Amino acid sequence: MSLKQKALSSIFWTFAQQFGNQLIGFVVSLVLARILLPSDFGTIAIFSVLMGIGNVLIDSGLTNSLIRTQNIDDADLSTVFYFNFTVSILIYSIIAFTAPWVSVFFKMPELTKIIRIYTIILPISAFSAIQRTLLTKKMDFKTQLKVQIPSLVIGGASGIIFALTGFGVWSLVYMAIIQSALSSLQFWMYSRWRPKRVFDKVKFRFHFNFGYKLALSGLLDIAFQNIYTIVIGKIFSATQLGFYNKANSMQQLPVTSIIKPLNRVTYPLFSQIQNDSLRLKNVYSQLMKMVMFVITPVLMLLGVLGEPLFRFLFTEKWLPAVPYFQILCIVGILLPIHSYNLNVLNVKGRSDLFLKLEIIKKILIVIAIAITFQFGIIVMLWGRVIISFIGLIINCHYSGKYLNYSLWKQLADLLPSILLSATVGATIILLDKNVWMAFSDFIRLIAGGTSGILLYLGFAYVFKFKELTDAKEILLRKK
């Protein structure tokens, strides 16, 4: 199978996996949002930050090093396995010990017990990290689909049952643990690899020297991805945090559906052609234009139709989340560009530069929050948009040097999709206000969504967007 065929096949299966995961997760979240209170989701959002930090510390970037390294053996795999699992136990112990201080900081006494039980997911996940890494390295996303779907279905169904029987926020905790345990068990069932009794210090130093910089970058990223959660949870109420969390998760739904599967494909794919800069540039450019062609109109339409969307899906009690959601949609449009630019730095072995850029951007985020938090959540989120644009310029500038693909050339290639999406979005706003406003939310969503998609695809066809052909090729791929 050629590299292009392998890439297309991997993209097909990883999109199938991500779409299945997102669809099941969305349905479960939709049901739970109607049963539980916004404050329940705000509580979960607070300690999810700890989970993210724990996962980064456990991995320390070593699995990324395994994917990037051309020739690995059982010594590499076993060494990383024992390190990851040992660290997972250590991190779990630290989090469990410090849980009371977290509870006091956020003034939520119930957090202590929740954190101590929820974070058992850390060692459960670490136990199957190498099996997942091997499947990713082989670009075998079909098997990963077989693992994730039943885990999500069973876990989600359990969460709904717990919620209906009055478990409240604990239904979210038990759901996550069940999903993680089932997933880890199945990875061991599908994988033939088993750890050997070996820990190679030389190989550990090799992987750690590459990975620790990614781990530090990951820590910064997780902390600052969730810094708004931390600030809102500390300064405002759990209910306001619940609104923000729901808006953020809804914005991430289409974004992660595109970014996560392509990240899992592009990193091993880029690694295979890391020494051919011209080829790497061409593959990167094609993927970037295609991703922006898809994600930009989706987020534009969701933002425009935010009010009927939230009321129809989650009921009136979630309407305060709509302004947050609409602002975050702008941030979401820029995320793919950030992500794939940073992937280029990783495959080129510049994890040191990756770390430096992350530190610079995080300092800018702190400055923005320090200036804006006193004016409320809305102003804070607009500050996030500005910082995202600045970060985009930084990322594109440095990755462009390694590809001979300048910032301005990258933006020029992406501008047609952005301009077309903005034009269609403005059109739908006018139609919604003057034609569909008197109808039900369902009719407004159907009319606005269908009209927006048809207008976007129609103009793309008329103006001969190459991304339309590329997307069609992936969707029709059978293997």
pLDDT tens, 261-272? 666 565 566 666
Each residue's pLDDT tens digit, 180-228: 899 889 989 888 889 888 888 888 888 777 777 667 766 777 777 778 8
Q: What percent of the chain has pLDDT over 70?
A: 80
User: What does the CA dihedral 293, 297, 298, 303 come to, rounded to 10 degrees?
Assistant: 150
Q: Which of 337-346, 354-363, 415-424 has the highest mean pLDDT?
A: 415-424
- What pLDDT was estimated at residue 478? 44
d(CA 22, CA 258): 11
d(CA 356, CA 339): 16
CB 149 within 8 Å of CB 18? no
∠ Cα 258 262 265 (to 5°) = 160
- Could you identify the residue written with the tokens 């700890």? 50
- Weakest mean pLDDT among 14-23, 222-231, 375-384, 414-423: 14-23
- What pLDDT was estimated at residue 193? 86
Whether residue 165 has pLDDT greater than 60: yes
| Domain ranges for the chain | 36-230, 236-479
Each residue's pLDDT tens digit, 46-99: 666 666 776 666 655 677 777 777 778 888 888 888 888 888 888 889 888 988
Q: Which of 123-137, 387-401, 419-433 has the highest mean pLDDT?
A: 419-433
Each residue's pLDDT tens digit, 358-400: 788 888 888 999 999 888 899 999 999 999 888 888 888 877 7
d(CA 33, CA 200): 48
Q: What percent of the chain has pLDDT over 90?
A: 15
pTM of the model: 0.67
Task: Count CB atoms within 10 A of the CB of residue 86.
Answer: 14
- What pLDDT was estimated at residue 340? 72
- What pLDDT was estimated at residue 114? 85
Which of 33, 45, 34, 421 shows the shortest CA–CA distance to 248? 45
Work out the average pLDDT over 99-127. 84
d(CA 127, CA 149): 19
Work out the average pLDDT over 351-359. 75
